[in-house]
A and B are shown apart, each in its own frame.
Chain A
Amino acid sequence: MSSLTLISAALRRKKARTFLTFSSVVFAFLMFGVLSMIRSAFSMGVDLAGEDRLVVRHRVSLFQLLPQSYEADMEELPGVVDAMHMTWFGGVYQDPQNFFMQSPVVPAEYLDMYPEIRLSEEARTRWIETRNGAVVGRATAERFGWEVGDRVPIQPTIWQQEGREDEAWEFELVGIYHSDVEGFDETQMLFRYDFFDETRSFGRGQVGWYAVRVNDPERAAEVAASIDRLFQNSAAETKSEPEGAFAAGFANQMGNIGLIVTSILGAVFFTILLVSGNTMAQSVRERVGEIGLLKAIGFTAARVQRLVLFESLTLVTSAGFFGLLLAAGLAAVVQPMFAAYMPGLFLQGRDIFIGLGLAVLTGLVVGFFPARRAMKLRTAFALRRL
């Protein structure tokens, strides 16, 4: 027999109450896991942003175009290694609901800029050889059942083809990319800029935004400022920022997801503190006599305090662990289902550790006051409650 036997006996004393408190804590940590997944999905771009990459866009908005000639101008600037451009295509496949990101790029430049992408040599070669060739991320290929060699019609919502305004753009799928970086976006469709520029009915020589690689991440802000200075007072002024800040700004267009998630979790955990705190306080109140007995037979005040604290820790931490386990199981089930829509929807190891830390902290906070009360209880007084 050890102190664990005493803790176990105390928790089994009112089984229904322990079960209900355990369940509410499990639910709270399940919610923590699910909301962490959602936050992770929205902030994945921020987390995966390259420290040495800047995004340069039109100063007014992301949807205003920039001249394609800026690329060469920027590459002349000190601190810039290279630059490449992308453009929001905004097409749909067969049905307006089948929306995913498409962009024209210069293949070699794009693959240099994003080494996170894994694409076979054969696909790279075919992409350069095929004028209307496109590569697509694994998630989107699986979503629509596409295979290399398929001809994929994409209905434009912005970019019409010259002389064929109502027709879909037809791309030949030359490769399917993936990434070894967990959470990297595997939903994009990328096709050749030269084909796009020659075929579109307007806006030739214009691009959406630039990715710029700098040679020293520590000087990224300085380089960004010099880029914006370069195009100051031109017809298309720029706004340059680190890729992480750009991704955060993009995600925040839907609202501050981090703040929303944190607020919900704050409310949930505050409630859990009250619920489990009340359980522990009630449990100690009912056991004043038992605590008096333990003290009478020689348990020191500190030892009694530790017993109550460990009881609280055992209850909350085990429930928290179970809730996180459920969340991880849920993530394993839903991640493949939502991979095409929300590529970052998975429970990160970091969040599991934060959750476990939160469980321990909650257990300590919940147990603190009842444990203190048990410690301070006068033995002679407590024995009168036998």
Chain B
Amino acid sequence: MSEQNGSGPMVDVRQVTRTFRRGRIEVPVLRGLDLEMQRGDFLALMGPSGSGKSTLLNLIAGLDRPTSGEVFVGGAAIHKLSERRLAGWRARNIGFVFQFSNLLAGLNAARNVALPLLLTSISGKERRRRVALALDIVGLSDRARHRPRELSGGEQQRVGIARALVNDPALLVCDEPTGDLDHRTSDGILDLLAALNQEHGKTVLMVTHDPAAADRAGRLLHLDDGRLVESADGEAS
């Protein structure tokens, strides 16, 4: 990750507020929030609907901008980046895992995984190597040529995770990664995320409603009404 500092926290959110405008009314979603994540953390973020979990996740992933405050990820002040630079930064530094795998129906698993590599200048050979490695990590080497409709829900989510890994990002941002899966399949996905965290050193930020999923994380934070009000390890802001 070329733009990331080797030292310091992976995520440093300082006094961030985010307000949305609905008609004439301003709705504050995040109210002066501070958060630090160290490299190698596996942090679960819980909270009721509308508490601001996804908004915070979007700010950390560079998908949205704070109304005020600062967001540093890997040492980069992403709140200052232009839209174009932010897009490039996301491509190099963030792996996204969504609730629904959101694979492109017209592409097979390997091509879905290769999507982020379209934005790089690496050779075709290196591209194939990375795709094969990512599919191997998620245990789907034998499903590379399968279209999404030929895969189960769990397999589709694994392809989504492989797509998030293929650019070798240091930070994985997961928005309800098990929200659409049954209990058993969820366990498999959470095992995979834990392995990526522990064996591959990925920092993982996961938003979830599922207490069982949250239990798999090393840290747990609760968001309520735009504030971090409680955490499993005593951290609060």
Q: Which residue numbers of A lie inside 8 Å of B, CB to CB?
A: 1-3, 5-6, 8-10, 12-13, 289-290, 293-302, 379-380, 383, 386
A-contacting residues, B115-157, CB 8 Å: 115-119, 127
**Known A6-B107, A6-B118, A290-B102; further 18 A-B contacts with Cβ < 8 A:** A1-B117, A1-B118, A3-B118, A8-B106, A9-B107, A13-B106, A293-B96, A293-B98, A296-B63, A297-B96, A297-B115, A298-B88, A298-B91, A298-B92, A299-B87, A379-B64, A380-B55, A386-B102
Contacts of A3 in B (CB 8 A): 118
**Set B54, B83, B106: member contacting A12, Cβ < 8 A:** B106
Contacts of B64 in A (CB 8 A): 379-380
Most buried by A among B92, B102, B114, B163: B102
In Å, the complex CA distance between A310 and B84 comes to 20
B90 & A10 in contact (Cβ 8 Å cutoff): no
A386 & B99 in contact (Cβ 8 Å cutoff): yes
B114 & A1 in contact (Cβ 8 Å cutoff): yes
Contacts of B58 in A (CB 8 A): 380
In Å, the complex CA distance between A1 and B117 comes to 9
Contact with A along B38-56 (1 / 0, CB 8 A): 0000000000000000110
> Which of chain B's residues has its CB closest to A3's CB?
B118
Contacts of B98 in A (CB 8 A): 293, 383, 386
Q: With A1-B114, A9-B104, A290-B102 in contact, do A299 and B61 touch (Cβ < 8 Å)?
A: no
> Which of chain B's residues has its CB closest to A297's CB?
B116
B106 & A9 in contact (Cβ 8 Å cutoff): yes
Closest chain B CB from A344 CB (angstroms): 46
B91 & A297 in contact (Cβ 8 Å cutoff): yes
> Which of chain A's residues has its CB closest to B100's CB?
A386
**Set A6, A10, A296, A301: member contacting B96, Cβ < 8 A:** A296
In Å, the complex CA distance between A383 and B207 comes to 15
Contacts of A1 in B (CB 8 A): 111, 114, 117-118, 127
In Å, the complex CA distance between A5 and B92 comes to 22
In Å, the complex CA distance between A169 and B224 comes to 107
Contacts of B61 in A (CB 8 A): 296
Q: With A1-B111, A5-B107, A380-B63 in contact, do A299 and B119 touch (Cβ < 8 Å)?
A: yes
Contacts of A6 in B (CB 8 A): 104, 107, 118
Closest chain A CB from B16 CB (angstroms): 15
Interface of B is mostly: helix
Closest chain B CB from A270 CB (angstroms): 31
Contacts of A289 in B (CB 8 A): 102
Q: Is B105 an interface residue (CB 8 A)?
A: yes
In Å, the complex CA distance between A249 and B100 comes to 68
A298 & B83 in contact (Cβ 8 Å cutoff): no
B90 & A297 in contact (Cβ 8 Å cutoff): yes
A5 & B90 in contact (Cβ 8 Å cutoff): no
Contact with A along B68-99 (1 / 0, CB 8 A): 00000000000000011001101110001011
In Å, the complex CA distance between A289 and B103 comes to 10
A293 & B102 in contact (Cβ 8 Å cutoff): yes
Could you show 8 A-B contacts with beta carbons less than 8 Å apart?
A2-B118, A297-B119, A298-B87, A379-B64, A380-B55, A380-B63, A383-B63, A386-B100
In Å, the complex CA distance between A142 and B91 comes to 70
9 A-B pairs with the lowest CB-CB distances in the bound complex, closest first: A298-B91, A9-B106, A300-B87, A380-B58, A380-B64, A297-B116, A380-B63, A298-B90, A386-B102
Contact with A along B205-235 (1 / 0, CB 8 A): 0000000000000000000000000000000
> Which of chain B's residues has its CB closest to A293's CB?
B102
B83 & A301 in contact (Cβ 8 Å cutoff): yes
> Which of chain A's residues has its CB closest to B164's CB?
A297
Q: With A10-B106, A13-B106, A289-B102 in contact, do A300 and B84 touch (Cβ < 8 Å)?
A: yes
Contacts of B92 in A (CB 8 A): 298
Contacts of A298 in B (CB 8 A): 87-88, 90-92, 116, 119
A300 & B83 in contact (Cβ 8 Å cutoff): yes
> Which of chain B's residues has its CB closest to A287's CB?
B104
> Which of chain B's residues has its CB closest to A295's CB?
B87
> Which of chain A's residues has its CB closest to B84's CB?
A300
> Which of chain A's residues has its CB closest to B55's CB?
A380
Contacts of B107 in A (CB 8 A): 5-6, 9
